[in-house]
Structure 1
């Protein structure tokens, strides 16, 4: 199999929990834009679709790969799975889900600091999210990461994107005040052009500022991949996102189900 990534890129991902992939998906941006534009016009019934007083729109939608052909094309035919295998050091790669987030001009709604893994019905250490912007993203509006936070050994309480707790009594610790103490953390972030991407571990703490631009939108497609050690997690009494209510796997089963197709 051809090598897609430089050794230092893989090492940064493993040491810091996030890395940048310059130009990795330049050949796929137009195809992904087709899918995202269709998704914006036809959101799923469970999509989060917020409208702001200033006229902005914040769309968060997921698990549409089986109904949006452009997403399927990218997931099964792009180099994303091979890149994921290199980053995770995994022989196998499965799709967990795709997630699209759109912030139109004047959205004014940040993505709060959070980890992805506590939202999910999965237990794993071999994970990667590949976040691909459809539009140029300056440094002051880009996704940010707390370097090394994937090694803290903690799961923090999930929040909805409006800042409320997903599960009030989940027994998990509140995330520390990162914005109020930014100097205490090594915060990573990169200005990005279409075709670039960032890759990060599900355990890495990350967030994004509001899009207060009067003219620039920020469309992003995220691909959530799983490696060899992933197992299904049934979290009794806990809401997970995505819910995956129809999955019949038992707690601790390998992720061998139609909802999670094997890509490699």
Structure 2
């Protein structure tokens, strides 16, 4: 079933996404989706998956909790993938006639968390080439601009790929090799050279951003408000499985794909078929 007729997207939104690399879509998801996903996320935190990471060192305040692939373990998350407007939003933004679900990524920063998410963009972490890759960053709590993810406007159009890093303390380099990779610039030191995008957002709003858009996030300075966010990753028909030398993140395997293959498979399901 397609939800495209009810999508909260205009042609201007799509043009802005393609120019800026990130947009905030207001009121994209009904309250029922938010309530169901909140319950699933809190259940996941009680019984995490095999790729769970705690990015807050012992003794530090708060908690930076990360997990992946909730769609494989929680009915509400799986329903969101296949039944919510998310796939149609992703397809329209990418200009894609086919939408494949790549993976999901839970990021929770509890009140008082000091660990920030360093500047990075996502595609170098993935064994995927192509331009049709979009993330939908869905907050499950109200997020003030000062704790929201921040995006470098237009950075997806720089034609540059930055070497990935672990988000653990110390920023240890991932052992991924690619001749395109260069070090991430010191964005904080050169803020005057860039334009940034960030928003005050409410549950039901969603941020859509391109896989090559540079972004980072502060800790959660609030003393009382949680920052639960669930990011889903979507690909179009130009995405191809790519060879990478070294580690990828998340380390998804068992798909059987070879370099150059289209992504659709049991692990990366086709959610919206090719039109016609």
TM-score range, shorter chain: over 0.9
Q: Is the 8 A contact 1:19 1:200 kept in 2?
A: yes
Distance in 2 between the 1:117 and 1:199 partners? 15
How far is 1:54 from its partner? 3.6
Which of 17, 20, 38 is equivalent to 2:21?
Answer: 17
Task: Map Cα deviations across residues 131-158 of structure 1 (whole Å, 9 max, x no partner).
Answer: 0001111111101110111011111010
Distance in 1 between the 2:155 and 2:114 partners? 27
Structure 1 equivalent of residue 34 of structure 2 = 29
2:259 aligned with 1:246: no
Which of 2, 6, 9 is equivalent to 2:5?
Answer: 2
Q: Is the 8 A contact 2:164 2:176 kept in 1?
A: no
- Alignment: residue pair count: 263
Structure 2 equivalent of residue 47 of structure 1 = 52
Task: Map Cα deviations across residues 197-250 of structure 1 (whole Å, 9 max, x no partner).
Answer: 1000001001101112221110001110000101111213x1000112222110
Deviation larger for 74-83 or 37-46? 37-46
Distance in 2 between the 1:46 and 1:84 partners? 25
Partner SS state of residue 44, structure 1: coil
Distance in 2 between the 1:62 and 1:142 partners? 20
Structure 2 equivalent of residue 194 of structure 1 = 203
Deviation larger for 44-53 or 151-160? 44-53
Q: Is the 8 A contact 2:55 2:167 kept in 1?
A: no
How far is 1:167 from its partner? 2.0
Residue ranges of structure 1 left out of the alignment (5+ in a row)? none
Partner SS state of residue 84, structure 1: helix
Q: Is the 8 A contact 1:54 1:106 kept in 2?
A: no
Q: Is the 8 A contact 1:103 1:218 kept in 2?
A: yes
Partner SS state of residue 51, structure 1: coil
How far is 1:169 from its partner? 5.9
Partner SS state of residue 5, structure 2: coil
Residue ranges of structure 2 left out of the alignment (5+ in a row)? none
Distance in 2 between the 1:101 and 1:117 partners? 18
1:1-264 → structure 2 map (5 Å cutoff): 1-2=4-5, 4=7, 5-27=9-31, 28-52=33-57, 53-162=59-168, 163-167=171-175, 172-236=181-245, 238-264=246-272
Task: Map Cα deviations across residues 102-132 of structure 1 (whole Å, 9 max, x no partner).
Answer: 0011110000010100000111201110000
CA gap 1:115/1:131 in 2 versus in 1, 3 angstroms: same
Distance in 2 between the 1:99 and 1:139 partners? 21
How far is 1:181 from its partner? 1.5
How far is 1:35 from its partner? 1.3
Partner SS state of residue 15, structure 2: helix
Distance in 2 between the 1:23 and 1:256 partners? 29
TM-score (norm 2): 0.92
How far is 1:56 from its partner? 1.2
TM-score (norm 1): 0.96
Q: Is the 8 A contact 2:176 2:248 kept in 1?
A: no
Q: Is the 8 A contact 2:176 2:244 kept in 1?
A: no
